[in-house]
Structure 1
Amino acid sequence: MKQILDHLYQHKTLTKAEASEILKQIASAAFNTSQMAAFLGVFAMRPVTLEELSGFREAMLELQIPIDTNGFETIDLCGTGGDGKDTFNISTISSFVAAGAGLKVTKHGNYAVSSSVGSSNILEHFGYRFSNDRDKLLRELDQSGITFLHAPLFNPAMKHIAPVRKALGIKTFFNILGPMINPADPGSQLIGVFSTETARLYHYIYQLSDKAYTVVHSLDGYDEVSLTGTFKAFNRAGERNMIPQELGLPTLQASEIASGKGIEDSAAIFMNVLKNESTDAQKSVILANAALAIHTANAEKSMNECVDIARQSIEKGSALKSFEKLMQLNA
C-alpha cells in the first residue's frame, strides 16, 4: 500500500487493472485500517477517474454474490448518497410507488454512511428481514412487486472496509459504486448522483451496457430530483436540463424535503407519503422521482403520463399495498 499511496500522493491516477487489483486486495484484508483510510482519503480530495471507477466496479462485480431474478424484468431506484442534504428517504419511498405502478423493483441499498437514515435503516425499522435467500427475494418480488437487497449480504468481501467507511463518515468512491453493483443486475435503473461530474461517469459507463437508464443530479447539489430548482437528466438520448414545471410539479424549498430529527421522523414521513397524508411538497418530490423511474422502464410514455401513473399509485393505495404486502412476507 505504501507504493500505491506514494503514487497517488504524486497526483497520479490508477489504471483500470490497478484499481481492480487494489480493491481485490482490500477485500482480502491485505491492508490495515490506517492504510485503507488513507487510500479512501485520496478520493475525498479528488474525483475518481473513469478508468479507476471501471476497475473498482469490475472487481466488485467479480467478488459479489449475484441473484438470478428468474426472468423478471426489474428496475432499481438508487442514489449515491453523499450529497450532505439530509433529505427523507426519497428513493426508497419512490421504489414502493414504482412497485405500486406495476414495475418489479429490486432495490439495492445499505445503512447510512454520510446521511442520517439510509434505505436499510428505514426498512429494518419497519421490520424487514435482510436476506440473500433467492426464494425469499423472488417471493417478495412476485407478490409485492419489490424486494430489497441489503448490500453487505451480497458483498461479504467488503466487510473489512465497512468499519473504515463508517468511521470516516464521508462520501467515497464506494458511494458511487453502490448503484453500479446491484446483484440482481436490473435491466432498468434510475440513479441519483451528487455531482454533474459523477453523472457523466455513469453516463459513459452505462452507454456501454444494455440497460435502460436515467442518471439525475439536481444542480443545487442533490443526488435525486429535489424539485428545488433545475436538474440534469442523462440517458441514451443524451443529457438535458429540466425544471419542475416540465413535470407539472412545483418548485420546492429545501426545508420542505428535510428528513427530520431521526429514524422516527423519517418513518413518519415514509408512512404519510404512502398513505397519501403527507405534505404536498413531500408528495411532489416522490412523484417526480417515481415518474422518472416509470419513464425509464417505459420510454414510450410521456413524462406527464408517468407523473399521473405515480400519482395514481399513491392516491389509489397501490404503493401502500405493495409496502404492506412486503412487510407481511417478513412477519
Structure 2
Amino acid sequence: MAMKEILDKMLGHEELTREETRDIILAITREEIPNEQITALLTGLQMRGVSVDELLGFRDGILATGVPALLDCDRYIDVVGTGGDRKNTFNISTTACFVIAGAGYKVAKHGNYAATSVSGASNVIRHHGVVFTADTDKLNRSINECGIVYLHAQLFASAMKFVGPIRKALQFPTVFNLLGPLVNPSQPQCQLLGVANLDQMRLYSQVYQKLGIDYGIVNSIDGYDEISLTGDFKVTTNSYEKVFSPADLGFANATPEELVGGANEDEAAEIFDAVLQNRALEAQKNVVLANAAFGIQVLEKGQKDISECIAIARESIDSGSAYATFRKFAEINS
C-alpha cells in the first residue's frame, strides 16, 4: 500500500494492519519514504495511540531488517525497562540480569546507551571493558560459559538508524520508544519488562499474549519503570495480576535518593559493582533482589512462590556467584 493511502487511513482514524506497519519499516530501510511522510505517520500515531497489531508489525519489520542473534539455548530471559521515566536510577535491570545468571539461569540482555539517565545498560557494560559484538560464535560462548550474553541494540536493529534524525528532531516520544523491549534480536521466550504507567502495562500485556511468550510486566505506582520499592507496585504475568507493597516481599520502603544512579558513568558503575559484590546500601540490594526475583518467577513459569525466588536471588549475591558470573562475562567479552 502506498504511503498516501496509509496516511489517508490515519486521517480517517483507521488502524493499520500488522502487515502494513511491517511493510512501512521495510520501505523505510529501502529509503522509499520521504522524511516528511514518516514524520506525519509518527505524529499521527502518537496523537492517536498505537494499536497492538501496529506495534507488532513495527516489531516484525525491525527484526526482519536487522541482524539476528541466533543462540543455541532453549530458555532464557531478558530483563528490561521501557526507559523514559526520568528517575535516573542506577542500572537496576542490568544488575538483576547478573543476579539471575549467577543463580544458574540463562539471560540474553538487550540494551543501549542512556537516553534519559546518566548510565544505560550499554554504558555500564562498556565501562568495564566489554567489547560489543554481533558475532554468533562469541555470543554463544558467552551464554554457554557464564550464563549471560549482552546484545548491544545498535549492532542489530538496522532500521533504527534510518529514523534516528527524525526522532531527534521531533523531540517527543514516538512508537519507536515502545519498540526497544520488543526487538531483542535473539527473541527470548521469557521477558520481565518494566513500564512507566498502567496504559503501557495493558498494551504490552496484549502484545506478549499474541507473541505467546512467558512474561512479567512491572510498574511502580509512583512512576518508576521497574520495581523501585519506593511504594506499591503492580505486576502482571501470564497467570496473575496483583499489587504488592515492599512489605509483602519482606523489604523496607526505599527512598528515591537511595536509588539514584550517581552524577556520572563512574558513579553508576560503582553502584553496579557494589551490589554484585554485596557491599551496597540495603535499599540498592533489595531493589535488585526484587526485580531479579520476579524474573526468576517468569523463568519458572510461575511455579515458584515469590519468596522462594527472592531467596534464590539473595543466595546468588550472598554466595558471590553473581559477581563471579559478571567477572567471567567481562573476561569472555573483553
Q: TM-score, normalised by structure 1?
A: 0.92
**Deviation (angstroms), 1:111:** 1.6
1:231 equivalent in alignment to 2:233: yes
2:330 aligned partner, one-letter code:
M
Aligned to 2:291: 289
**What is the alpha-carbon distance in structure 2 between the residues aligned to residue 258 and residue 2 of structure 1?**
46
SS at match of 1:24: helix
1:214 aligned partner, one-letter code:
G
Aligned to 1:321: 324
Give yes or no for contact 2:83–2:225 (8 Å, CA) kept in 1: yes
Give yes or no for contact 1:114–1:171 (8 Å, CA) kept in 2: no
**What is the alpha-carbon distance in structure 1 between the residues aligned to residue 262 and residue 297 of structure 2?**
30
Question: 249, 266, 269: which one pairs with 1:267?
Answer: 269
Aligned to 1:102: 104
SS at match of 2:113: coil
SS at match of 2:80: strand
Q: Give the direction of change, closer, same or farther, for the CA distance of 1:287–1:265 in structure 2 (3 Å limit).
A: same
SS at match of 1:191: strand
- Which runs of structure 2 are paired with 1:303-314 in the superposition (5 Å)? 303-314=306-317
Aligned to 2:178: 176
**Deviation (angstroms), 1:196:** 1.1
Aligned to 2:70: 68
1:98-124 Cα offsets, whole Å, 9 max, x none, are 110111110011122233321112111
SS at match of 2:188: coil
Aligned to 2:198: 196
Q: Give the direction of change, closer, same or farther, for the CA distance of 1:276–1:34 in structure 2 (3 Å limit).
A: farther
Q: Give the direction of change, closer, same or farther, for the CA distance of 1:30–1:84 in structure 2 (3 Å limit).
A: farther
Q: Give the direction of change, closer, same or farther, for the CA distance of 1:239–1:86 in structure 2 (3 Å limit).
A: same
**What is the alpha-carbon distance in structure 1 between the residues aligned to residue 90 and residue 35 of structure 2?**
31
**What is the alpha-carbon distance in structure 1 between the residues aligned to residue 39 and residue 229 of structure 2?**
35
Q: Give the direction of change, closer, same or farther, for the CA distance of 1:279–1:157 in structure 2 (3 Å limit).
A: same
Aligned length: 331
Q: Give the direction of change, closer, same or farther, for the CA distance of 1:114–1:45 in structure 2 (3 Å limit).
A: farther
1:138 aligned partner, one-letter code:
N
Aligned to 1:25: 27
Q: Give the direction of change, closer, same or farther, for the CA distance of 1:32–1:269 in structure 2 (3 Å limit).
A: farther
**What is the alpha-carbon distance in structure 1 between the residues aligned to residue 326 and residue 309 of structure 2?**
20
2:62 aligned partner, one-letter code:
M
**Deviation (angstroms), 1:278:** 0.9
- Which runs of structure 2 are paired with 1:141-156 in the superposition (5 Å)? 141-156=143-158
**What is the alpha-carbon distance in structure 1 between the residues aligned to residue 230 and residue 12 of structure 2?**
39
Q: Give the direction of change, closer, same or farther, for the CA distance of 1:282–1:33 in structure 2 (3 Å limit).
A: farther
**What is the alpha-carbon distance in structure 2 between the residues aligned to residue 163 and residue 215 of structure 1?**
30
**Deviation (angstroms), 1:164:** 3.7
**Deviation (angstroms), 1:133:** 0.6
SS at match of 2:69: coil
2:219 aligned partner, one-letter code:
H
**Deviation (angstroms), 1:276:** 0.9
Moved more, 305-314 or 34-43: 34-43
Give yes or no for contact 2:118–2:268 (8 Å, CA) kept in 1: no
Give yes or no for contact 1:81–1:171 (8 Å, CA) kept in 2: no
**What is the alpha-carbon distance in structure 1 between the residues aligned to residue 331 and residue 171 of structure 2?**
34
Q: Give the direction of change, closer, same or farther, for the CA distance of 1:172–1:116 in structure 2 (3 Å limit).
A: farther
**Deviation (angstroms), 1:15:** 3.0
**What is the alpha-carbon distance in structure 1 between the residues aligned to residue 86 and residue 298 of structure 2?**
26
SS at match of 2:234: strand
1:113-166 Cα offsets, whole Å, 9 max, x none, are 233321112111111111111110111111111110111212223221234445
Q: Give the direction of change, closer, same or farther, for the CA distance of 1:119–1:264 in structure 2 (3 Å limit).
A: same
1:190 aligned partner, one-letter code:
L
Question: 97, 100, 120: which one pairs with 1:118?
Answer: 120
**What is the alpha-carbon distance in structure 2 between the residues aligned to residue 33 and residue 86 of structure 1?**
32
1:311 aligned partner, one-letter code:
R
1:319 aligned partner, one-letter code:
A
Give yes or no for contact 2:132–2:333 (8 Å, CA) kept in 1: no
Give yes or no for contact 2:62–2:158 (8 Å, CA) kept in 1: no
1:255 aligned partner, one-letter code:
E
- Which runs of structure 2 are paired with 1:201-220 in the superposition (5 Å)? 201-220=203-222
Structure 1 unaligned segments of length 5 or more: list them.
none
1:316 aligned partner, one-letter code:
S
1:307 aligned partner, one-letter code:
I
2:159 aligned partner, one-letter code:
A
1:40-72 Cα offsets, whole Å, 9 max, x none, are 344444532223212212222222222222134
SS at match of 1:114: coil
